Amino acid sequence: MRVISRIWHVYKGVEIESLTGIIFSFQFKDLNDRSRVLLGAPWTFDNALLVLEEPVGKGSIEKMAFNMCDFWVQIYQVPLLCSSREIRWFLGEMIGVVLDVDGGLAGDGVGKFLRVRVRIDITKPLRRCLRVDILGDGVETIMLLRYERLPHFCFKYGKIGHTMNKCQSEDQIPVVNGMGKPLFGAWMKVSSILRKNYLRNFRGLSEINNHNITSCIKVDTDSKMMMPTSSLNEV
């Protein structure tokens, strides 16, 4: 609680209160501070994923699911035909709830990718790829997905909340050429790309000192992780 405000670079201060063992409330004194924190998700602290949820109505904790988290997702092996904003948005909706789409193709050569910000349900497996019949001719294009600032997750099931060596499932890992090969892996993690122009959306906000600008957070102390938003069934 002493360190988190410095990690978040909160300028006007934030009041932190422990509500239960793993749920905390954060009362921001400035709207810009809260916007920056929400924009910067996902956050991890001491290898724990922090799940932020804004209270609705009276802010009943019992009604908060703490199962959604925002991620920037990079989509690789994208045909040039899919570089328009409309198609980028469509691809993002196959992953989760689209919050924003970045500019056109980024990266160099074969490493070019699209970038979308989506809210995904972290109680479900992460999507590894998208299969899209672009021209409607029955030929599928497979696009790989990589997540920025992705915390540890299970390589067997693709779920955030535990690592494979702590997975309690007895299901066997698929065997390829005599060796176990998980469907998921560290290749799904990628470094974050900072976009200064994305932050400009909040520069026009007026300075507001409001002690009731509140967010709640839940920390999964068992898995040492945070929580995301809705994704479709894993392919």
Digit-coded pLDDT (tens) for 113-165: 999 999 999 999 999 999 998 888 888 999 999 999 888 888 877 888 766 66
Decide if 115 is inside a domain: yes
pTM equals: 0.74
114 and 8, same structural domain? no
CB atoms within 10 A of CB 208: 14
- The Cα-based distances of 205 to 10, 137, 151, 199, 235 in angstroms read 15, 48, 31, 11, 41
152 and 45, same structural domain? no
177 and 106, same structural domain? yes
157 and 181, same structural domain? yes
186 and 95, same structural domain? yes
Decide if 222 is inside a domain: no
83 and 59, same structural domain? no
> Does 34 score more than 70 pLDDT?
yes
Decide if 144 is inside a domain: yes
Q: Residue 43's domain spans which residues?
A: 4-67+196-209
Classify the phi-psi angles of 46: left when phi > 0, otherwise alpha if psi is within -120 to 50, otherwise beta: left
Q: Are 225 and 49 in contact (CB under 8 A)?
A: yes
> Does 223 score more than 60 pLDDT?
no
What's the total number of domains in the chain? Answer: 2
